[in-house]
Homo-oligomer: A and B are copies of this chain.
Amino acid sequence: MAEKEDKFLVPQDTYLKAGIHIGTKFRTKYMEQFIYKTRPDGLSVLNLQKINERIDIAANLLAQYAPEDILIVSRRENGWKAAKEFGRLTGIKVFAGRYPPGILTNSDLDSFMEVKIILVTDAWPDRNAVNDANKIGIPVIALCDTNNQPNNIDLVIPCNNKGKKALGLLFWILAKEYLKKRKLISDDKEFTGKIEDFTEE
C-alpha cells in the first residue's frame, strides 16, 4: 500500500522551509482538526499531511474551471506577488488589494466580472469577496490559518496564510497542479514557474 509520503505534492522539507505549517497563537474550534501541536512559544503548528491533501483537492476543484471563470482575491500584501505570478502563469484572474463590494454582483460597475469560483487568501480581510460570492451562489475556496472561521467557505485549505514564503509556495504548487490537471503541461518538468518569482520583489 502506498505510504502517505508518496502523496506529497512537494518534498516535506520544501513545505517546512516555507513555514506553510506555522499557525498563530489563536485557534478557532473549527481549525483544531488541522492542528498537529502547539509549540512551547504558543504558536499552533498545522498538520502537513492535511495541508498537502487539501491543496490537492483545491487544485482538483479549480481544474474543473477555465482560467477566465476563476478569480483569486488577496487583500493581504504578502500574497500579491504570489497571486499575480499565479495569474500570469495560469491566465486566472487576480484581484490584489482591497476588493470593493459589487464586482461580482453589480453588472452596472465598470469593474464587474462574471466568474464561477473564487479563492481568497484569508476569509476575514477578503470577506467582501466572500460575501459577494455567496450572494451569487458560487463556490468559495479559502486559505485558512488557525485563527480563521470557516463560515461561508466551501473548501478550506489550512495553511499559514500570512507569510510571503508560505503564500508563495502555496500559489506555486497550485499553479503547477492546475496546469497539469488541465493538461496544459504534462508533468512537473514542463512547469516554468520559479518559486523565487512567487516570493521575491
Contacts of A138 in B (CB 8 A): 53
The closest CB in chain B to the CB of A106 belongs to B1
Contacts of A7 in B (CB 8 A): 137
Complex Cα distance A107/B54, Å?
25
Q: Which A52-105 residues have a C-beta within 8 angstroms of B?
A: 52-54, 56-57, 60-61, 63-64, 105
The reply to whether A114 and B1 contact each other, CB–CB distance below 8 Å, is yes
Contacts of A152 in B (CB 8 A): 33
CB-contact partner of A30 in B49, B53, B150, B181, under 8 A? B150
- Is A183 close to B, CB under 8 A? no
Q: Digitize A131-175: 1 where CB-to-B-CB distance is under 8 Å, 0 elsewhere.
A: 000001111000000000011101100000000000000000000
Most central of A63, A105, A151 by chain B CB within 10 Å: A151
Q: Which residues of A contact B (CB under 8 A)?
A: 1-2, 4, 7, 29-30, 32-33, 49, 52-54, 56-57, 60-61, 63-64, 105, 107, 114, 136-139, 150-152, 154-155, 181
14 inter-chain pairs at a CB distance below 8 angstroms, sorted by A residue, are A1-B107, A1-B114, A1-B136, A7-B137, A29-B29, A30-B150, A32-B151, A33-B150, A49-B137, A53-B154, A57-B154, A57-B155, A60-B61, A155-B155
Q: Which 9 A-B pairs have the closest CB atoms?
A: A60-B64, A4-B137, A33-B151, A1-B107, A57-B139, A49-B137, A7-B137, A53-B137, A57-B154
